[in-house]
Amino acid sequence: VIETVQGEDGYPMIGVTAYARKANFAEMFQYGYYEVKYNIELVIKSLGMLFSGQLTKDDVAGPVGMTQMIDENYKNYGVSSVILTMMNLVVILSANLGVMNLLPIPALDGGRFLFLIIEAVRGKPVDRNKEGFVNFIGFALLMVLMVFILFNDIARLF
């Protein structure tokens, strides 16, 4: 709830007040749906920003970076904040994995789906050796990306 209150210096201040109320099952299901939808849209928008140059390598974090965020949260706000942060990270990671896995990148489900589309258009299967080689290259590039993100996380620690 947004409200206006009188500040100590006599000037009005605008603030946001959080409140909790008991929700029924349908409301919780609806809220969960909107939360997942929001996080999926956030992942897609973030990917677009990453490829357009609006985000840099410093805006990307891997497991080490997430652990660092949780540690900072614990030091500043305590255990209850860490629990809420971890629950939020689980939702974000689930949405992230779902979106990333469906991208048409070789070695992922989206890459396999792309090969199925190519086979349907051509009317004959793609040579399994060629498909395997493309998936191997895609897997190797994913491993390089993972090492890069891990190195970037560790470099940020120091």
pLDDT digits (tens, 9 = 90+) for 32-90: 899 889 999 999 999 999 889 998 888 888 889 888 888 888 888 888 888 888 888 88
Helix 109-122 with 79-102: angle, nearest 10 deg: 20
Residue with tokens 């939360």: 35
pTM of the predicted model, to two decimals?
0.71
Q: What is the pLDDT of residue 10?
A: 72
Nearest-CA neighbor of 110 among 135, 136, 85? 135
Looking at residue 11, its pLDDT comes to 72
d(CA 49, CA 157): 24
